[in-house]
Amino acid sequence: MTKLFRRSFLLLAVISLFVACEENAIRSDQLGTDGITQGKIKYDTIQNMRDASADTIDVAEAVRIGLTLPSGSTTPKSYYVLGSVKGFNAAFDPNYGNVSPIITNKINNRQMICYRMKSFKNSNFTDAAQLQIGDIIVVYGQIQNRYGAPQITQGGYLVTSDNPESGYKPGPRVALSETFNDGLGTFAVVNKQAASADVWQHVAATETAQGHMRANANINDAIEEAESWLVSPTMDLTVCKNGAKLTFSHYCFGSADNRDELIRVLVSKDGGANWQQLTLDETMWNNPKQKRFTSVSFDLTSIATANTQIAFAYKSTSTVALTWAVQNVRIGEPDEE
């Protein structure tokens, strides 16, 4: 009975640890101006953290990962680690352009050294003012167990900082970026009226062409009546402070008088409860006799919400089945000139 109890208790502890670790990743769209408090970090803390696809862990989680490693070993992957600069193990070295800050999570005082850290994009620091005590930063690098003391090992570099002297010029925030080069990605296919085979199919990349998603209801040389949507995940576009823009590339092969009823780009402000159609004017269409991708864009700023979705809605009739292909979908702030 005692052994059984110990095994049960151990299993419960392992499960609890696993669940806790799953919750430790901090979405970069949760970074905020109030610093690191109560384990929750809102979006605007680090205005330079623009890519909402990157998961960030805090110092406590980085320390935990480091302590699971054998002494002297390093993680095979790199992590985005968020923390506050508490001090310096080694000051700015103008000869090498690096610095070794000590970062903490400010909650339970977990801390670690970022050994010989470089500046943005792995460039050299040029001035000691670029990194100061109290700065909230994100560091990208491998975690090492330095004989019982976890650290970001040499090779790590600064990703973001709230220090105005850091010299970093932020890029645009991106809420969604999907090429469809390797498959569906984060999108899902929703069949409103199914055909005898999948209407949306992935076309693999070749040496000369990128992969994409393609819809067609001409199946086994027979036109079928169908409706199938390629739907994005729900996105919070309110994080796009400088406007929200949808861009993608597509082609539509074949002609139909009611093309705008068959090939539709839809947007929802309420997580898919209601949809509105975006207008594809003639300049956004390719030659219907050519399978050549055309790039199009829409300004979503006026309809951007915290629960935005888009859908590429394909429809065929019993007599008309166009071919529609889509790739390189991006939603976020406009690219800076």
Query: What is the per-residue DSSP string for 107-160?
Result: SS--EEEETTBB-GGGPPP--GGGS-TT-EEEEEEEEEEETTEEEEPTT-EEEE
Q: Given this model, what pLDDT does residue 80 score?
A: 85
Four-residue CA torsion sign, 205, 210, 212, 216: negative
For residue 11, tell me if it sits in a domain: no
Length of the chain, in residues = 337
d(CA 135, CA 132): 6
Dihedrals phi, psi of 175, to nearest 5 degrees: -90, -30
| Sequence-distant contacts of 195-203: CB under 8 A, at least 24 apart | 195/219, 195/224, 195/225, 195/226, 195/228, 195/316, 196/220, 196/224, 198/228, 199/226, 199/228, 199/314, 199/316, 200/228, 200/230, 200/314, 203/325
Neighbours of 261 (CB within 10 A): 12
For residue 44, tell me if it sits in a domain: yes
**One domain, residues 140 and 233:** no
SS (H, E, C) 244-307: CEEEEEEEEECCCCCHHHHEEEEEECCCCCCCEEECCCHHHCCCCCCCCCEEEEEECHHHCCCC
**239, pLDDT greater than 80:** no
Dihedrals phi, psi of 261, to nearest 5 degrees: -90, -20
Q: Given this model, what pLDDT does residue 2 score?
A: 46
Q: Using the 3D structure, point to which of 131, 161, 191 is the last residue of a domain.
A: 161
Q: Given this model, what pLDDT does residue 51 score?
A: 47
**One domain, residues 189 and 323:** yes
d(CA 55, CA 194): 36
Q: Given this model, what pLDDT does residue 301 score?
A: 94
Q: Using the 3D structure, point to which of 106, 134, 161 is the last residue of a domain.
A: 161
**One domain, residues 178 and 146:** no
**One domain, residues 254 and 318:** yes
CA proximity to 199, closest of 49, 17, 321, 69: 321
Neighbours of 48 (CB within 10 A): 20
**One domain, residues 128 and 180:** no
**177, pLDDT greater than 70:** yes
Q: Given this model, what pLDDT does residue 170 score?
A: 67
Neighbours of 148 (CB within 10 A): 9
**One domain, residues 99 and 206:** no
**42, pLDDT greater than 50:** no
Mean pLDDT calculated for residue range 257-277:
95
d(CA 211, CA 245): 23
Provide the domain count of the chain.
2
For residue 88, tell me if it sits in a domain: yes
Structural domain of 151 = 24-161
Q: Given this model, what pLDDT does residue 54 score?
A: 54
Q: Given this model, what pLDDT does residue 107 score?
A: 65
CATH of the domain at 221: 2.60.120.260
d(CA 193, CA 205): 28
CATH of the domain at 83: 2.40.50
Q: Which two tokens stand for residue 174?
A: 């991106």
B/e letters for 105-134, b = 16+ CB within 10 Å, e = fewer, are bbeeebbbbbbbbbbbeeeebeeeebbeee
* 14-18, 83-87, 238-242: range with highest mean pLDDT: 83-87
For residue 35, tell me if it sits in a domain: yes
d(CA 147, CA 144): 9
**52, pLDDT greater than 60:** no
**One domain, residues 136 and 47:** yes
For residue 272, tell me if it sits in a domain: yes
For residue 18, tell me if it sits in a domain: no
**55, pLDDT greater than 80:** no
Is this prediction's pTM over 0.75? no
**130, pLDDT greater than 70:** yes
**One domain, residues 195 and 150:** no
For residue 166, tell me if it sits in a domain: no
Q: Which residue type does 179 have?
A: T
Asked whether 86 and 103 are in contact (CB, 8 A), the reply is: yes
With pLDDT > 90 as the criterion, what percentage of the chain qualifies? Answer: 58
Q: Which two tokens stand for residue 22?
A: 């799953």
Q: Which two tokens stand for residue 92?
A: 């700015």
Mean pLDDT calculated for residue range 54-82:
88
